Structures are given as structure tokens and as C-alpha cells.
Amino acid sequence: MRRPIKKRPVVSPDIVYGQVDVERLINYVMLRGQKETARKIVYGAFEIIKNDKETGDDPVEVYNTALRNAGPLMEVRSRRVGGANYQVPREVRPERRVSLSLRWIIGAARKQKGIPMHKALAKEIMMAAKEEGEAIKKKEDMHKMAEANRAFAHFAW
């Protein structure tokens, strides 16, 4: 029997830009319930993006482009068939695509040691918008894995 569909909490828009996606980014950046600190980090990063000469004026547009670029289209899921485990390529649902891209962008920003988080996050968002950086590399690795296991696509459920 399949699991019931999970009821996800509705995220309200953020206070500065009025965007649900920006509030979702703030929630992903937040650690130990410190939402104000997460807001300062995200809005600081957006300020850096806004003041950058290459990216232009609108940081929300750059952020949305980065989300689209870093989101994977295919992934591999483990499937047990006749005593053997196969890596079966599957298409990624849109909400999972967004959550994976957010997770990868923030993870890449956290890995950068020695610079403040808002600068690291701004750098990673701008790099993802230009289709560069660690989050894009992770997406490409996932696509390569799905392509390599394409022979097992007939095991998809």
C-alpha cells in the first residue's frame, strides 16, 4: 500500500520582496530556529547581488534563474528486483527539484570557509545563475548517473 500524500505547510511570502520562494530560501538557511539571522543572511546576499555590475538590478530574478539552473531533471532511485538492487532513473517532481536545488546551493555556500555566509550565498547564487559552481556540478553528476543507468529504466514503477 502506498503512503498517503504528505500535507505540507503553506509558506507565506517574505516581508521585503513579497515572494514565497525567497521565504523558502530563508527557511532553508535558518539553523536552530534563528529566523532573523537567516533573514539577515539572505537579504545581505540579495543586496550583494543587486549591487553587482554583471547580474543587474533584480536579485529575485537572479535567484529564480539559479533555482531553475541548479534543479535536476532526472535522478536515480534504488529499486530491489529479484534479490538485486538497481539504480533506476526517474524524473524529478517539480517541488523536489526546487528543494534539491536549494539544498545544494546552501550546502555549497556553507562549505566555503573563511568568508561570511551572506557573501558565500550571494556568490553561489550568482554562479548557479551563470550555470557554474558546485550546485551545478552536483546536478550534472546526478544526470550522468541517470544516463549511465538508463538500461534499468524499464524497472521504473
Determine the pLDDT at residue 91. Answer: 87
**pLDDT tens digits along 3-38:** 898 888 888 998 999 999 999 999 999 999 999 999
**pLDDT tens digits along 30-51:** 999 999 999 999 999 999 999 8
pLDDT value at 66 more than 80: yes
Determine the pLDDT at residue 157. Answer: 64
Q: Which superfamily is assigned to 20-74+87-155 in CATH?
A: Ribosomal protein S7/S5 (1.10.455.10)
How far, in Å, CA of 152 to CA of 77, rounded?
11
- Cβ neighbours of residue 55 under 8 Å, at least 6 residues apart? 49, 62, 126, 129
For 116: left if phi > 0, alpha if psi spans -120 to 50, otherwise beta; the answer is: beta
Q: What are phi and psi of 30, to 5 degrees?
A: -60, 135
How far, in Å, CA of 97 to CA of 49, rounded?
23
Helices within the chain (DSSP H only): 20-29, 35-51, 59-70, 94-111, 117-129, 134-148
Q: What are phi and psi of 58, to 5 degrees?
A: -90, 105
Determine the pLDDT at residue 137. Answer: 94
Q: What is the pTM of this model?
A: 0.87
